[in-house]
Amino acid sequence: MKLLDIIILSLAVGFLIIGIHQVMVLGIGQAYWALMITLILFFILTLRKRTKR
């Protein structure tokens, strides 16, 4: 993994933790933004891995 991949993965995990916390405290409606950013970052990471092959 390159540095950019590690940064993207770290951001995705960070936003996932924030999203889970927000879901428990405020509900899914208020945490939707963090969960969608997590999903987008995981898609970007998967796309980067597939294009390297």
Within 8 A by CB and 6+ apart from 7, the residues are none
Task: State the chain's mean pLDDT as an integer.
Answer: 96
- pLDDT single digits (tens) 8-26: 999 999 999 999 999 999 9
Radius of gyration of the chain (CA): 13
**pLDDT surpassing 80 at residue 6:** yes
pTM for the model stands at 0.89
User: What does the pLDDT read at residue 1?
Assistant: 82
pLDDT of residue 52: 83
